[in-house]
Structure 1
Amino acid sequence: MEENLWKHILQVRKQSPLVHNIANYVVMNNTANALLAVGASPIMAHAHSEIDEMVAICQSLVVNIGTLDEYWAKSMLQAANKAHELRKPFVIDPVGAGATGFRNDLLSELLKTRPTIIRGNASEIMALAKQNVSVTKGVDSTADSNEAIQAAINLNQEFGSVVCISGKIDIVISQHGKCYIKNGSELMTKVTGLGCSATAIIGAFIATIDNTFEAVTAAMALMGIAGELASKLADGPGSLQMHLLDKLYNITSDEFSSHLELEVI
């Protein structure tokens, strides 16, 4: 698989897919810039009257439930249902799953649309699969990635979605197996929305790559390695954001291949 991942990164740059995002207020600017940096074109739209048309013209959909309200919840369901109808790939980021009944009820409805990809931290994935999990700490995980593997397998088996558990080690689960991505930096946890940016980047990769397992792996590897390299240049979380965007944009094949830490099972 390793030799394919860089080809997938180049393919996203070449095709510049149009990615429809219903993102949360906190991270909208970050995710749009991350998509531009990897070569994709972001659209941020949530108006009910244009959702169907927007999904139709874009190559993929990203749904991020971070800052929910009733209007946006309806937008998300409408978009997910339209993507499912049109067989457009889409990714759901279940931010804060398990925190409130409103959030959980929306996620239950979104899962019925059978998302192509689900990406969340360990606590979110476990809450989504209705497994026992400690009380959620806002949007932060109270569990390690490995603790959510069975929950991810259950979600994959029930809904057919490729599931990505993000954390110190990112784990991608599909019916064909699992992949451990051991890149990244502790400093990345000090910047809000980098997980959401990873979800948006996944949206770009599933828009252009038919093999969803490899698409998610390539996206997460790119994000992890870019963060790792950026952290070596940064003085703190503020400058990390700047260097991360630069590295997503200008990372080289040699940098990617020499830093990739991947285990496929």
Structure 2
Amino acid sequence: MDFASAVFSDLCRIREQAPLVVNITNNVVTNVTANALLALGASPAMTHHPGDAAELAALARAVVCNMGTPGEENVASILAAATAAGQAGAPVAFDPVAVGATSRRREVAKSVIESAPLAAIRGNASEILYLAGSNAAAKGVDSLHRSRDAAKAAASLAQGLGCVVCVSGEIDIITDGRDTVELAGGHALMTRVTGLGCTATAFVGAFLAVNPDRLSATVHAMAVMAAAGTLAAAGAAGPGSLAVRFLDVVHGLTEADIAAGVRVTA
């Protein structure tokens, strides 16, 4: 099976099974993430209540934890959901938004990593460098580094935590500490739409729900993001129309679209 066929096979599983993907995400992107998961074919559940998050996580096929707005209730919900998912054996995808920017975010990330085994971490280069111990500088939620700057750090982090680490950027780098895949695709205009990075982590959760191979699941999720971004940008006048087109493209994405919109570079 070639790469596009393998990605599309996982996408078809999501569309057929509509796995429950529980999201404790940031307040800015809740609607964006839910709509993107629906377009993908998954069944999203969004919550910011600790008790509710724990109960939903126990029912979920995957849990996505995003610390973009680290208020007390959000963080308590993230920790409760991660713990419950760990007990239930559901994979957890973690998005360490702007982890190097503030002491609060550093504390939250540490607590999440310690709360339960993670299946995957997706972040930009600065976030991954910081988690790997480099004390990399950050510009709020934006990266000051290119993805390949964090390749070695990602592999080290993956080995240390026993999970998959994805560094997203112009080139996406996905590694489990032993094997590494690089993907090219997407479009720079995607960085002008709030929530598409968070959507990538949500997609990782959805693919983890249907594929037990965590490396290939993460690679396939990022391939769908890249292919959809490439095709959506081709007909977009700006970030607003790209956001709408992205949902439509994801909803109708075909194997041929995947083959045309993303390529494996390593």
Q: Which amino acid counterpart does residue 237 of structure 2 have in structure 1?
A: D
> Is residue 98 of structure 2 the alignment partner of residue 121 of structure 1?
no
Residue in 1 aligned with 2:136? 133
Q: 2:17 matched to which residue of 1?
A: 15
Query: Structure 1 segments of 4 or more deviating over 3 A?
Result: none
Structure 1 residue matching 2:265: 3-state secondary structure? strand
Name the SS of the counterpart of 2:174 in structure 1.
Answer: strand
In structure 1, the partner of 2:85 is 83
Residue 175 of structure 1 deviates from its aligned partner by: 3.5
Does the aligned pair in 1 maintain the 2:164–2:176 contact within 8 Å? yes
Q: TM-score, normalised by structure 1?
A: 0.96
Rounded Cα–Cα distance in structure 2 between residues aligned with 1:215 and 1:108: 25
SS at match of 1:218: helix
Question: Could you tell me which amino acid in structure 2 is paired with residue 130 of structure 1?
Answer: G
> What is the aligned partner in structure 2 of residue 5 from structure 1?
7
Q: CA deviation at 1:56?
A: 1.1
Q: Which residue of 2 aligns with 1:29?
A: 31
2:24 counterpart letter in structure 1: I
- Which runs of 5 or more structure 1 residues have no equivalent in the other structure? none
Query: What one-letter code is carried by the residue in structure 2 that aligns with 1:116?
Result: A
For residues 131-172 of structure 1, the C-alpha deviation after alignment (integer angstroms, 9 at most, x for no partner) is 1412x1110000000111121112111111100000010110
Q: 2:216 aligns with which of 196, 214, 217?
A: 214
1:153 and 2:155 matched: yes
Aligned Cα root-mean-square deviation (Å): 1.1
Q: TM-score, normalised by structure 2?
A: 0.96
Match in the other structure for 1:95? 97
Q: What amino acid is the match of 1:153?
A: A
CA displacement at 1:259 relative to structure 2: 2.9
Structure 2 letter corresponding to 1:67: T
Work out the CA distance in 2 between the residues paired with 1:255 and 1:60.
Answer: 26
Q: Would you say how many aligned residue pairs link Structure 1 and Structure 2?
A: 263
Deviates more, 1:239-248 or 1:102-111: 102-111
Is structure 2 residue 8 aligned with structure 1 residue 42?
A: no
Consecutive unaligned residues of structure 2, counting only runs of 5 or more, are: none
Q: CA deviation at 1:254?
A: 1.4
Match of 2:225 among 218, 223, 230: 223
TM-aligned CA deviation for residue 70 of structure 1 = 1.5
